[in-house]
Structure 1
Amino acid sequence: MFLSRLTRWSTTLLLLLVLALPAFAGHGKNGAEREGILLVAFGTTVPEARAAFDNIEEEVRKAFPDTEIRWAYSAKQVRRTIKENEGTALLSPASALARMGDEGFTHVAVQSLHTIPGAEFHDLIRTVAAFRNMPKGTRTVTLGEALLSSPDDMEKAAKALVSTFPAERKKTDAVVLMGHGTHHPANIYYPGLQYYLSKVEPNAFVGTVEGAPSLEDVVNELKARKARTVWLMPLMAVAGDHARNDMAGPEPESWKSVLEKEGFTVHTILRGTGEFDAITAIWVDHLRDAFSRLNQ
């Protein structure tokens, strides 16, 4: 009788072990895989400027129609201002990745929408690295490069930028692209872009608000070219506060006012680079690269 009970107990135990195998196997593989995309922008407090984000998302959806897209914004002040003024809580890159991990995303391709790989981009590198192989969260997180990250990027960007110049512009009219600029070593990408831009359109110039080339540098180039009419355009993903105030504002120190005081006829274009498909395509290419590395 004892042997009979032992046999029944052994059979029951064996059956339970067999039934549990799929569950154990699932835990060994960390469960089902789920891929996602996180787009990271600096952000803007100007509602009209967000048309750039809408266009970028549309282009990303075309390239990745079956992948869920989320957003994050790296500028704390932008997030705080929008929360206070609009009641909308925007997520930082870290918060967005944490939420995606909690919701079951195992593989996330993060795409930077910054123009150059400056301080904001390097902060994002560290954030992405921290979220790799998270317990019960994201296992693989990759990062797509900023818009200008290589000589090839700058050559493509120069051609793409020229394609966005206004149709009514005359060939002798100059175009000035206003970038943000930075004290970070990555500021070198702005004069680098100028080199490639000059090969495509000699009357196009890059300037920055907080770096080099400066507005003074640009004015000197315009005078050397004997330009009379200048078109001002932002070299930023969105035509936000810098574009509407520092570039096109009525204040005496705005670029428009300074150039007019120097005797130039000035036209302003308030459209961010993210509103143009030719430029957005470069970010999308970087995202394709990041996405392809998810399962390597």
Structure 2
Amino acid sequence: MRSSAVRALWSAAFLTLLSLALALPCLAGEHGKAAEPKRGILLVSFGTSVPEAVAAIDSLKSQAEAAFPGVPVRLAYSSKIIRDKIAGEGIKKSSPAQALSDMAAEGFTEVAVQSLHAIPGHEFHDIIATAKAMEGMPKGMSKISVGLPLLSTPHDIDAAAEAILATLPKRAKGEAVVLMGHGTEHPANAAYAALQLALWKRDQSVFVATVESSPSLEDILPALKRQGARTVHLLPLMSVAGDHARNDMAGDEDDSWASILKSKGFTPKAQLTGLGSRPAVAKLWIAHLQDAVKGLDH
């Protein structure tokens, strides 16, 4: 092979290698390019197995979508009992962990998770633990911010007291209101007592009781009698008017609150409207969601 041909061959090879070398940084940059931020919202409700009660959750979801146009809003149920029960009826709802996993698979990088629970009890702390675990996973989400439940801070409790009172039915003398909370053995159960004090500062005829903890209905019966209450309005202190509201509060069974009050000489009047369907209260959850979304910016 002549020397001129060899030089031409080496020259061509050199140019080819030089072109590849110059292209490699570009190729590597494309391959290693960070994903574009994709923000979403996940609302986490305790859940309900009562079809009529779902409207309150749907309403909160619609309000979240209106507050953050263009940001996808997803929903999860934190109660496994509820998820399993409705699954038998052909209705599928994700757990918070599954919902976040699905969102990560869809490319969401930042998610604001908003609790729709009343108090920061076990369910809320489980949500926090799940969010922390998901945020730290490889190829997972870069940021997850969790919004507080309805009754979390002293400011929340005062705001909730004002909002709840604004939604109560007009009453005459001799009429009282009893709000049914769920109740828990978690220390967050103290939020119910704090709410009671906040309500009494504004209206002495409004009471808070719980199904599964303290104060119970039996705890407040003496106060109802001392006030000379004859009619007692019963309302759920929960995001939805679900099974507890329809059965434990307003049911026909002998152990329902309505039946117990009637047996004690009171006239019970139940309202099956959850807090999520009361705009003045619902907007407090949306305010917490706004704080959670702001948390994604830090």
The TM-score bracket by the shorter chain reads over 0.9
Opposite residue 76 of structure 1, the aligned amino acid is: K
Show the counterpart of 1:253: 255
2:15 matched to 1:8? yes
How far 1:17 moved relative to its partner?
Answer: 1.9
2:47 matched to 1:59? no
2:166 matched to 1:166? no
Residues 212-223 of structure 1 aligned to structure 2 (within 5 Å):
212-223=214-225
How far 1:14 moved relative to its partner?
Answer: 2.9
Residues 27-176 of structure 1 aligned to structure 2 (within 5 Å):
30-85=34-89, 87-167=90-170, 169-170=171-172, 172-176=174-178
Residue aligned with 2:111, SS: strand
Asked whether the equivalents of residues 59 and 277 of structure 1 are also in contact (C-alpha less than 8 Å), the reply is no
CA change 1:22–1:220 in 2 (3 A) is: same
Residue aligned with 2:286, SS: helix
Asked whether the equivalents of residues 38 and 70 of structure 1 are also in contact (C-alpha less than 8 Å), the reply is yes
Asked whether the equivalents of residues 174 and 228 of structure 2 are also in contact (C-alpha less than 8 Å), the reply is no
Unaligned runs of 5+ in 1: none
Measure the CA separation in 1 of the matches of 2:143 and 2:25.
31
Measure the CA separation in 2 of the matches of 1:11 and 1:265.
91
How far 1:88 moved relative to its partner?
Answer: 1.9
How far 1:21 moved relative to its partner?
Answer: 5.0
Asked whether the equivalents of residues 133 and 140 of structure 1 are also in contact (C-alpha less than 8 Å), the reply is no
Normalising by structure 2, we get a TM-score of: 0.94
2:21 matched to 1:19? no
Unaligned runs of 5+ in 2: 1-6
Residue aligned with 2:135, SS: coil
Higher Cα radius of gyration? 2
Measure the CA separation in 2 of the matches of 1:50 and 1:170.
32
Show the counterpart of 2:292: 290
How far 1:4 moved relative to its partner?
Answer: 1.4
How far 1:10 moved relative to its partner?
Answer: 3.4
Measure the CA separation in 1 of the matches of 2:184 and 2:65.
31
Opposite residue 271 of structure 2, the aligned amino acid is: I
Measure the CA separation in 2 of the matches of 1:284 and 1:171.
35
Identity of aligned residues (%): 49
Measure the CA separation in 1 of the matches of 2:108 and 2:132.
16
Measure the CA separation in 1 of the matches of 2:12 and 2:65.
62
Residues 157-236 of structure 1 aligned to structure 2 (within 5 Å):
157-167=160-170, 169-170=171-172, 172-236=174-238
Q: Would you identify which runs of 4 or more consecutive aligned residues in structure 1 move more than 6 Å?
A: none
Opposite residue 97 of structure 1, the aligned amino acid is: L
Measure the CA separation in 2 of the matches of 1:274 and 1:172.
28
Measure the CA separation in 2 of the matches of 1:191 and 1:173.
21
Measure the CA separation in 2 of the matches of 1:88 and 1:162.
35
Aligned residue pair count: 291
Residue aligned with 2:197, SS: helix
**Which has the larger displacement, 128-137 or 260-269?**
128-137
Asked whether the equivalents of residues 96 and 130 of structure 2 are also in contact (C-alpha less than 8 Å), the reply is yes
**Which has the larger displacement, 4-13 or 156-165?**
4-13
How far 1:257 moved relative to its partner?
Answer: 0.7
Measure the CA separation in 2 of the matches of 1:171 and 1:177.
18
**Which has the larger displacement, 32-41 or 129-138?**
129-138
Normalising by structure 1, we get a TM-score of: 0.95
Residue aligned with 1:97, SS: helix
